[in-house]
Amino acid sequence: MPEPILKIEGLDAHYRDFQALYGVSAQVDQGEVVAIIGANGAGKTTLMRSVAGLLKNRPEAIRWKGQAIGRLRADQVAALGIALVPEGRLLFPSLSVEENLIIGGQIGRKGPWSLDTVYRLFPILKERRNQQSTSLSGGQQQMVAIGRALMSNPELILMDEISLGLAPVIIRQIYEALPGIVGEGMAAVIVEQDIAKALSVTSRVYCLQEGRVALQGLSATLSREEISRAYFGM
Amino acid sequence: MDWVNAILQGTLLGGLYALFAAGLSLIFGVMRLVNIAHGDLIVLAAYLGLTASTALGLHPLVALVLVVPAMFAIGYVLQRGILNRTMGDDILPPLLVTFGLSIIIQNGLLTVYTADPQKLQAGNLETASLSAGGLTVGVLPLIVFITAVAIIGALQWMFYHTALGRAFRATSDRQDIAQLMGLNRAHVFGLAMGLSLAVTAVAGIFLGIRTSFDPAVGGSRLIFGFEAVIIGGLGNLWGTLAGGIVLGVSQALGGQIHPSLQILSGHIVFLVILAVRPRGLFPKMEG
Ligand SMILES: Nc1ncnc2c1ncn2[C@@H]1O[C@H](COP(=O)(O)OP(=O)(O)O)[C@@H](O)[C@H]1O
Ligand SMILES: [Mg+2]
């Protein structure tokens, strides 16, 4: 067994007085694709933001290749090779499509991803490169958000509800691009509402319920009943 | 001819006001910070220029070589050391802290330099003038105006064509997501304040060459700067230049009617524009 690259242990996350995560433990191996599922408000986004450094936690609660990173700033976490595709895309409206991508690569990590390779993955973005990012359709904006994260050549990419609010045909298009993304040995954590979709593209799954890990297992072997019990708490 | 001349002089004066305002506009644009101490920092720059020119015998314009980097450093340290700690969802703490800073700077200047009015000696430059077609313009006001246009043009170019400008815009859009891109907000804000005060250094030196100054004159410079920013439209640097010119011309025309109306007419035009176009003449286009 290789050591996991990301190891979360006993993570409690708070928004002021409100506790959103209770002792969450999870791990991601190198090159592995993991799903996080759970109902609205279960804490999926909180977990993503904690790993990315947008929420401050106990340092040892999150380890990256053994290093305690729970308290690092987001820019420091990004430099280590973790990128977040945030829920709601959150592009920079003052920047053009291409500038959104360039700024994603600002950290200067070496790797396969560059403007060229992102444009090859999503050719439509090349046509729209000089437009304001807000003038794009939702699906195209999501492509920019993914491309922006890839531009930092991360070893782990966190994708928070990349299909939220998109038409099914667009969702399929984006998920078809996924193997080309994680194929290069990059690990991924995918937060997804569509459970069937989440199970089909991942090897392992964690189900969060009210801030706790209610279920974990192999995507291929977990039963429907187990999952809906963990999902809805019934 | 007097009126044409007044408009010309007012336009050139507007360049100085635009320099007062550009730094304010920049930090408001990048971090939504309203710096009440801005006028006092202009005066501080003038005094630094005074010290550099008296102690080292430098021409005040040459002293810029020292004062600009010094003010940049002061801005960066001020932002990272103090102002960053006050920034958040609530806009009141930075207002209060920069207000306190304003008082500290004024009293510090009083202690070091006394309340005596001072002036930067620029030799022939102060009186040199050019004449054409019955109009006469001073060389100094012309230099100030050209410098203002050049600085604002350079800032605008920096904003839209450099990595630093991209970082400023991204941080202004979404601070936390910019942080994900490896941009440390604290550092980006420090650079913005440093740049703001570097521009302020130029404004302070020109102020000190044009008129006499004492530690208490910062307040009205802050007002002129604010008025130029708001007339032009928040977050739009060329608008800020236009705002400075509108303010300068208003004052010059008022002064042409009666000298006592000079300052007042500037404020009145500001209030009228604020009432008719609350977002300024050239509001930044959204989305
Ligand atoms: N900024 C915030 N301030 C306070 N509470 C929050 C904030 N963001 C999320 N929460 C709360 O934390 C819990 C988990 O939210 P979130 O992680 O967004 O869930 P999910 O992504 O699974 O829908 C919810 O109860 C939510 O209301
Ligand atoms: Mg969420």
Domain CATH for B44: 1.10.3470
Q: Could you list which residues have their CB under 5 Å from ion ligand 2?
A: A 44-45, 87
- The pLDDT score that the predictor gives to residue B287 is 31
End-to-end Cα separation, chain A, in angstroms: 34
The predicted pLDDT at position B182 comes to: 95
**Please, what is the end-to-end C-alpha distance for chain B in angstroms?**
45
Six-digit token pair at A25?
A: 């433990």
Q: Specify which residues B136 forms β-bridges with.
A: B131
Q: What is the ipTM of this complex?
A: 0.93
Residue B165 covered by a domain: yes
Overall domain count for chain A: 1
**Domain span holding position B45:** 2-117+137-276
Q: Is residue A11 part of a domain?
A: yes
Give B 189-248 residues with CB within 8 A of chain A: none
pLDDT over 70, % of chain A: 99
- Residue pair B126/B140 in contact (Cβ under 8 Å)? The answer is yes
Does B205 score more than 70 pLDDT? yes
Residue A114 · residue A98 · CB < 8 Å: no
Mutate to test the pocket of ligand 1, among A14, A15, A90, A209 (most ligand atoms within 8 A of CB): A15
A36 part of a folded domain: yes
Domain span at A200: 6-89+155-232
Query: pLDDT class for B286, splitting at 50, 70, 90?
Result: very low
Nearest by CB to residue B166, choosing from A93, A95, A148, is A95
- Out of A52, A75, A148, whose CB is closest to B183? A75
Cα–Cα–Cα angle for A96, A100, A102, rounded to 5 degrees: 110
Residue nearest to atom 12 of ligand 1 (CA): A20
pLDDT score at B51: 97
Domain count, chain B: 1
Question: Per the domain annotation, does B123 fall within a domain?
Answer: no
Instruction: With cut-offs at 50, 70 and 90, classify the pLDDT of residue A228.
Output: confident
Give the tokens for residue B248.
């300068």
Task: Let me know if residue A98 belongs to a domain.
Answer: no
Instruction: Give the least confident one: A50-59, A137-146, A198-207, B277-286.
Output: B277-286
What CATH code is carried by the domain that includes residue A84?
A: 3.40.50.300
State phi, psi for A178 to the nearest 5 degrees: -60, -45
Report strand pairing: A187-191 vs A156-160. Answer: parallel
Closest by CA to A24, choosing from A33, B63, A49, B39, is: A49
- Does residue A132 lie within any of the structural domains? no
| Domain assignment present for A135 | no
In a domain, B287, yes or no: no
In a domain, B284, yes or no: no
Q: A20 lies in a domain? A: yes
